[in-house]
């Protein structure tokens, strides 16, 4: 916008007022949650929003008396492995769709695309039977193996790989560069922003999994954090709000930090995906 | 294979090149062996993904369809073939139709609110005010909130004895609302929480789209003395319409799949008022052990979602063409 045309002062105040109002509505659940995590539960259950005993003791209780740290660790392991393997598998299949010529390539690609239409939620029943028969129930593997690849990730990386000039592959072929080396030395470094975006996506998607872990894990040693919070909350409903809010804060603060650090990359990647 | 990726040993590199070079010498056999080699490479590169998709996407798809025509035992094994009986009993069951209706209401409410508020946030954050980047960070904040954290935050707000809203109602001498135990209000509460969760992502995408509208358009409009609201409806909205479409389809599909907030906040209640499609599948399959019926519900859900995804593909395809 042109700087010479400054809007009138009333309009500016209106703008700022609107910004503050919107920010308030977005922030209020966070603020209430964080604030009550500092209050003693006895005061919270009286409906008080102020207390003379503001402390971190709810956090101490959450960490020492619930497996919340273990849940976080489980989620980290699961999300990290899912992300790493998804990056590898998706980039490999995307590479095949762009740089390797073989019969039926387009058909196969459309079949890949078609799977994006199928919600995982509609397939939980046979998948549950499959993992039960494979003996994977209640283990990290059950939350990783079904998500080792994604049609969406393949699609997204294929779009990115198609930006790489075809001549580069031809030249490298004459040079005698194998597919592996071209993939590792040229394609992956060239598309690192898209890879980063997919990494963030798949990590968050895995982190936010809810239905599947709930069906397939039964013990605290493998339970990821979403299901863990559900567990805490159902055990403690209406009893210990302070501690539950503290657990929620313990879970959400790392994600918020990662989000704000990675926001720049994430934003550009998201728009890249959205425009294509 | 892995060694080839990371191998920096020049001797190995040389060896490899020597192995591949002779192939280029002869014309026909080169082409033939190249095709063969490429097919092998395709298999290696695609193999892992294909295997996962076959086991966890294609097989369950057919299996779900298959199961939907059967009665099943409590282990999920088909016992008696019953044709379309599951479909007929579902589509004539008032409970299921009620679920469908509730889902549609939920999806429409969530989508409309998410899009409108997302646009409002993005438009407001596009203005040039000092400290605007602080607001942008806040607006995108709910993207870092997972479903169980959101549920805890909102359960606290809607809680009848300790909740914020009840105290506010008291203060203003309004009648207290039992948010999560009255059907209409429970749906409202779930919709509000879902929209709040969606806003971070929606804001980010809309914001990016609005930023990419050429500023010359606005400058021209400003010289013409056109109002801000007119600019929004006649420049911004048309320019970001592809993004608008993309986000609306994504929001629609995600809302059809909602499960976590329902499970945590209302468990489908009160009186099945928030018993949405996925929650019903979960109940019928994993709580009642009726896998055949739940498979039928899954097929119906998949068809609804496939329909919207298909529309999205079609429109995106069209856009690529011009």
CB contact under 8 A, A271 and B212: yes
Peptide bond into A35 cis (omega under 30): no
> What value does the mean pLDDT of chain A take?
84
Nearest to A47 among B21, B167, B259 (CB): B167
Please state the pTM of the whole predicted model.
Answer: 0.84
- A215 vs B contacts (CB less than 8 Å): 286
Nearest to B45 among A28, A93, A145 (CB): A93
Instruction: Answer whether B100's CB lies under 8 Å from B93's CB.
Output: no
- Exposed/middle/buried for residue A206 (C-beta within 10 Å: 0-12, 13-18, 19+): buried
- Distances in Å between the Cα of B285 and the Cα atoms of A128, B60, B69, B280 are 11, 15, 15, 8
**Residue of chain A nearest B253, judged by CA positions:** A119
CB < 8 Å from A in window 143-172 of B: 143-157, 159, 161-162, 164, 166-167
The per-residue pLDDT for range A204-260, each reduced to its tens digit, is 889 888 999 999 998 888 999 998 888 887 775 556 888 888 989 998 888 888 777
- B22 vs A contacts (CB less than 8 Å): none
Give dist(CA A228, CA B146) in Å, integer. 12
Which of B146, B218, B278 to substitute to test the interface with A, most A CBs within 10 Å?
A: B146
* DSSP β-bridge partners for residue B72: B78
Transcribe B7-65 into DSSP letters. Answer: ---HHHHHHHHHHHGGGGTSHHHHHHHHHHHHHHHHHHHHHHHHHHHIIIIIHHHHHHH
Q: Which pLDDT tens digits describe chain B residue by residue (322 residues)?
A: 333 444 444 444 444 444 444 444 445 556 777 788 888 889 999 999 999 999 999 999 999 999 999 888 877 788 888 888 889 988 888 889 999 999 999 999 999 999 999 999 998 888 777 778 888 888 888 888 889 999 989 988 888 777 777 777 777 777 777 788 888 889 999 999 999 999 988 998 888 888 888 888 888 888 888 888 888 888 888 888 888 888 888 888 889 998 999 998 888 878 888 899 999 999 988 888 888 889 999 999 999 998 888 887 787 767 654 3
Q: Is A231 on the interface with B (CB under 8 A)?
A: no
A·B CB contacts under 8 A? 293
Give dist(CA B273, CA B289) in Å, integer. 22
Instruction: Answer whether A248's CB lies under 8 Å from A37's CB.
Output: yes
The third-level CATH classification (topology) of the domain covering B91-321 is MetI-like fold (1.10.3720)
Nearest to A119 among B38, B148, B302 (CB): B302
Q: Is A9 on the interface with B (CB under 8 A)?
A: no
For residue A179, what pLDDT band results from cuts at 50, 70 and 90?
confident
Q: Which residues contact B3 (CB under 8 A, 6 or more apart)?
A: B12
The per-residue pLDDT for range B266-301, each reduced to its tens digit, is 888 788 888 999 999 999 888 888 888 899 999 999
Nearest to A126 among B38, B64, B127 (CB): B64
Q: Where are the domains of chain B?
A: 2-49, 91-321
**pLDDT value of residue A271:** 52
Instruction: Give which of B242, B125, B50, B107 is closest to A273, Cα–Cα.
Output: B242
Instruction: Give which of B258, B249, B297, B288 is closest to B276, Cα–Cα.
Output: B258
Give dist(CA A118, CA B248) in Å, integer. 18
Q: Which domains, ranges and CATH numbers included, belong to chain A? A: 9-59 (no CATH), 67-236 (1.10.3720.10)
**pLDDT value of residue A2:** 44
**pLDDT value of residue A276:** 38
Instruction: Please give the DSSP secondary-structure letter assigned to residue A122.
Output: G
> Could you report how far apart the first and last alpha carbons of chain A are, in Å?
27
Q: Which residues contact A114 (CB under 8 A, 6 or more apart)?
A: none
Q: Which residues contact B107 (CB under 8 A, 6 or more apart)?
A: B252, B255, B256
**pLDDT value of residue B8:** 45
């Amino acid at each position: 916008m042109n700087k010479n045309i400054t809007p009138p002062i009333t309009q500016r105040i209106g703008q700022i007022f609107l910004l503050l109002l919107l920010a308030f509505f977005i922030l209020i659940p966070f603020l209430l949650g964080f604030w009550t995590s500092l209050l003693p539960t006895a005061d919270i259950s009286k409906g008080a929003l102020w207390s003379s005993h503001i402390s971190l003791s709810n956090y101490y209780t959450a960490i020492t008396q619930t497996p919340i740290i273990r849940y976080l660790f489980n989620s980290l392991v699961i999300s990290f492995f899912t992300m790493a393997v998804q990056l590898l598998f998706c980039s490999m299949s995307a590479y095949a769709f762009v740089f390797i010529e073989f019969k039926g390539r387009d058909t196969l690609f459309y079949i890949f695309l078609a799977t994006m239409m199928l919600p995982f939620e509609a397939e939980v029943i046979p998948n549950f039977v499959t993992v039960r028969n494979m003996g994977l129930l209640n283990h990290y593997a059950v939350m990783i193996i079904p998500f080792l690849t994604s049609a969406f990730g393949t699609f997204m990386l294929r779009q990115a790989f198609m930006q790489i000039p075809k001549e580069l592959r031809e030249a490298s072929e004459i040079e005698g560069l194998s597919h592996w080396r071209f993939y590792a030395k040229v394609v992956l470094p060239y598309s690192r922003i898209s890879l980063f975006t997919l990494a963030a996506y798949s990590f968050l998607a895995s982190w936010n999994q809810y239905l599947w872990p709930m069906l397939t894990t039964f013990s605290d040693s493998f339970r990821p954090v979403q299901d863990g919070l559900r567990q805490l909350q159902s055990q403690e409903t209406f009893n210990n709000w302070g501690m539950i809010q503290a657990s929620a804060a313990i879970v959400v603060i790392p994600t918020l930090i990662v989000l704000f650090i990675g926001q720049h990359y994430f934003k550009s990647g998201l728009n890249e995906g959205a425009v294509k | 294979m892995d060694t080839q990726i990371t191998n920096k040993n020049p001797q190995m590199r040389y060896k490899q090149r020597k192995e591949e070079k002779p192939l280029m010498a002869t014309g026909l056999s080169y082409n033939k062996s190249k095709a063969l080699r490429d097919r092998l490479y395709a298999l290696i590169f695609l193999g892992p993904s294909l295997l996962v998709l076959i086991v966890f996407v294609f097989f369950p798809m057919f299996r779900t369809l298959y199961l939907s025509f059967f009665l099943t035992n409590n282990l999920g094994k088909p016992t008696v073939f019953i044709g379309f009986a599951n479909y007929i009993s579902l589509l004539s069951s008032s409970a299921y139709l009620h679920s469908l209706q509730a889902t549609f209401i939920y999806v429409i409410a969530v989508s409309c609110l998410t899009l409108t508020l997302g646009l409002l946030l993005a438009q407001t954050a596009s203005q040039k005010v000092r400290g605007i980047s602080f607001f942008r960070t806040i607006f995108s904040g709910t993207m870092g909130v997972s479903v169980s954290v959101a549920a805890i935050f909102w359960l606290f707000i809607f809680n009848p004895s300790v909740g914020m809203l009840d105290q506010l109602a008291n203060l203003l001498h309004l009648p207290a609302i039992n948010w999560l135990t009255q059907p209409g209000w429970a749906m409202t509460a779930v919709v509000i929480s879902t929209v709040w969760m969606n806003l971070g992502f929606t804001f980010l995408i809309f914001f990016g789209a609005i930023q990419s509208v050429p500023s010359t358009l606005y400058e021209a409009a400003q010289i013409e003395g056109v109002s801000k609201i007119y600019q929004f409806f006649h420049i911004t909205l048309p320019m970001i319409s592809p993004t608008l479409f993309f986000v609306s389809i994504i929001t629609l599909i995600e809302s059809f799949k909602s499960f976590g907030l329902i499970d945590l906040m209302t468990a489908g209640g009160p009186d099945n008022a928030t018993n949405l499609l996925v929650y019903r599948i979960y109940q019928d399959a994993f709580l009642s052990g009726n896998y055949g019926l739940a498979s039928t519900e899954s097929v119906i859900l998949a068809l609804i979602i496939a329909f919207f995804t298909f529309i999205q593909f079609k429109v995106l395809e069209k856009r690529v063409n011009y």
